[in-house]
Amino acid sequence: MALQLGDTAPDFTAETTEGTIHFHEWLGDSWGVLFSHPKDFTPVCTTELGEVARLKGEFDKRNAKVIGLSVDSVSSHDDWKKDIEDATGNKLNYPLIGDDDHKVSEAYGMIHPNANDTLTVRSVFVIGPDKKVKLTITYPASTGRNFEEILRVLDSLQLTSDYQVSTPVNWKDGEDVIIAPAIDDESAKEKFPKGFRKVKDYLRFTPQPNR
């Protein structure tokens, strides 16, 4: 069965462009973003990997480690790195897993045989410091992902884990958040000293607590 939210992210040992990684140990207390791309030396993947390198500082700010994967070897990744820098202007600054034996992609269900029986799809797994899967996304090979969206989701996940709030449609960092219905109005007054706006009994907005 496919990995689901709340499952423990499978641990593995793998060769990467930054040496051998024992995944859970490498994550330590950080959040993790593990993403697969179908194949080296392909156009959409080249743009994605360059973009993640450009955004690396944003992931660092959120205490999140990024790691990519494809079913090609580390030596192929090493050759491709030069192209990624040439094409996007961004030098790869995070590890890429060589998964030519499909060990990791099978553990994470990144190969969808009815799409392609050998290449990985574009999967994203966000993993919490407790090593549980917090988010899964699957895109087809032809559609490049939006990594700004992954940052937005990390902001939301981290708020939810630190405060009893959730985030509304199209929410962005800095905007009002929603107080969990389990908190009654009296407790909400104490917990959210900036106050709240009640639209319905079950829909109460408060300014982002960590701002």
Cβ 101 to ligand BEZ shortest distance, Å: 19
Q: Kindly name the residue from 45, 69, 84, 150 that is annotated as catalytic.
A: 45
Find the shortest distance in angstroms from Cβ 150 to ligand BEZ. 18
Residue whose CB is less far from ligand BEZ, 15 or 40: 40
The binding site for ligand BEZ (CB under 6 A) comprises 38-39, 42-45, 141-142
**C-beta of 147: minimal distance to ligand BEZ in Å?**
15
According to DSSP, residue 159 is labeled H
Beta carbons of 128 and 136 less than 8 angstroms apart = no
Report the nearest approach of ligand BEZ to the CB of residue 50 (Å). 12
Rounded Cα gap, residues 21 and 32, in angstroms: 13
- Residue 92 Cβ vs ligand BEZ, minimum distance, rounded to whole Å: 16
Residue among 84 and 133 whose Cβ is closer to ligand BEZ: 84
| Helical segments of the chain, H only | 23-27, 43-54, 56-61, 74-88, 103-107, 147-162, 185-191
Residue 39 to residue 36: CA distance in whole angstroms = 9
Measure the CA–CA gap between 204 and 52, rounded to whole angstroms: 35
CB 51 within 8 A of CB 88: yes
* Helix segments in 41-137, DSSP class H: 43-54, 56-61, 74-88, 103-107
Please give the structure tokens belonging to residue 71: 């079913």
Closer CB to ligand BEZ, residue 119 or residue 133? Answer: 119
> What is the rounded distance in angstroms from the CA atom of residue 84 to the CA atom of residue 102?
23
Q: CB-wise, 42 or 138, nearer to ligand BEZ? A: 42
SS3 string, 49-71, reads HHHHHHCHHHHHHCCEEEEEEEC
28 is catalytic: no
Given the complex with ligand BEZ, which of 87 and 203 has the nearer CB atom? Answer: 87
Active-site residue set: 45
